[in-house]
Structure 1
Amino acid sequence: MNERSLRLLEFDEIRSRVASRALSEEAAQLILADLPSLDSQKVLSLKNLVVEIYNKYNLLAEEPRESLPTIGPVLEKLRIEGSSLDLDEAYALGLFIQRGRHFIQWLRVSDRDKQEEGPLLSILNSIPDCTPVETELFKILDRDGNLRDLPELREIRNRLQNLHKELDLVTSRYTNSEESRKMLQSEVPSQRDGRIVLAVKANFKGRIKGIVHEVSSTGQTIFVEPEDIIEKNNEIVFQEQRLAAEIVRILRELTSRIAVHRDEFLQFHSQIIYLESLRARSRYSWESHGV
């Protein structure tokens, strides 16, 4: 089919409209990369699949309209031995599996009593079950993508919470003391490089012993980390580094456990994206009262 025919048929415009119905950027790109086919058998097969999904809009309960995160780069990362997913990547993978499963359930509803396996049911039956991996991911992450309150993290977080309370108590001795308060430019502690410091008036330099982190541009204020705060700050930094290292370990071990299922992910991913491209076509047809 030549370019003039495609323009007359408004092919590019309609293809873009169809792609906009996709709930996945990857499915939208698949649609946008599609070109007209002169293979009548291929066209008929595609049409039959789209019609099957189209008919479900009149037969089924409300369609799950959940966006599917892009996970192609995540699957590529799993190919690399020793790699580790970050929180966002692990969450995207978990969401894709969960929402893909909801999509499959919706497509299956009206086919449960069918005696013969049609083209759509055939695709659905060939999709691997990634539910165990979804379960594994959401043991570590909550449904909002945050790390759960795992025992190995709870101890460190509790220690950090107590340290911050102790630090607040120490700083309050300066801000609540009449003698110390007159030396302060502000009664609200500041932070420099993640460490709590006090804003001390320059003319009281040396009265509060500690490390000077910074001097204001006017020279009127110096930011001092008092000696009795240094130890608390050091302990907080240490515990924060422990927490970060523990999170890295948890994600590395999680990645190792799920990476063995990468081939199943690849199949699940490609088939869900293909089905989503079919749904976008059927959705456009349904909305425009097409055939």
Structure 2
Amino acid sequence: MKLMRAKTAGFCMGVDLALKKLAALIETPGGARAGETSRTIVTFGPIIHNPQVLEEYAAKGVHVIDTPEAIPASATVVIRAHGIPEPTRQAIAARGAEIIDATCPKVKKAQTLIFAQARHGKVLLLFGEEDHPEVKGLLSYATAGACVFNSMDELDELSLPHGPTYFLAAQTTQDEQEFLRIRDYLKNRFGSELTVLATICNATMNRQQEAMDLAAAVDFLVVIGGRESGNTRRLAQVARTAGTPCVHVETADELSPGMFADYHTIGLTAGASTPKKIIDRIQQVLESY
């Protein structure tokens, strides 16, 4: 069996920065700010979408909270890499908590671009997963209104009268090829009145392109990452769309030799929130087959 590993597999810049910020807090001598004997660190929402990473930080005393009311007294609150809605940030600040913003810079940029359009009264058309935390954050900056859709079919079902002026954006980890199809469709419908924002990050596009190239070169593709990770799920979707058999796993425990009995060339890639040690371990297991 031949194994091919994607060069882009694993942490992206935004995830790496977020985890470094959290690690720096934990590693502060004594674990506290000046004048304190201890420090309570919480993350607002899971800092990234990887359960194994979250378990490691929980073992170090870092817990996840989901509401401002749950913030412990004198806590340091680390904002998740996906960002949070602006009203939530204001509510956290009102609690008097120290805020460490670990929002991915690409998500921050998308928030800023969306607000710049919305302040002129434009309505957002957002290509994304409505329940995803990043999307909830982006929507909070669409002050003139927004519509969310996750496919061309969902877009077709939306009632979009010609009165408002619209602008189009995407969740930073969305499928670029699908976004371009949606862009062309809406341009044909609304013409030059439609503003299109480039909010899909380069890391996402590069990973998706490499997944497509890998899918074309192998008999079977293994995608590694948290099941709550949207960008990881889309890597698996890319392979399946190309017609390449694929499995999405979180750890090596989910693999068995029988899964690969009929294949000669195996591809290996991973989402942007997957630690290198998990990828390395799965590669070792596959090589042992």
Query: Common fold, TM-score beyond 0.5?
Result: no
Tell me which interval the TM-score lies in, with the shorter structure as reference length. under 0.3
TM-score (norm 1): 0.23
Higher helix share: 1
Higher strand share: 2
Bigger RCO of structures 1 and 2 (CA < 8 A, at least 6 apart): 1
Q: Which has the larger radius of gyration?
A: 1
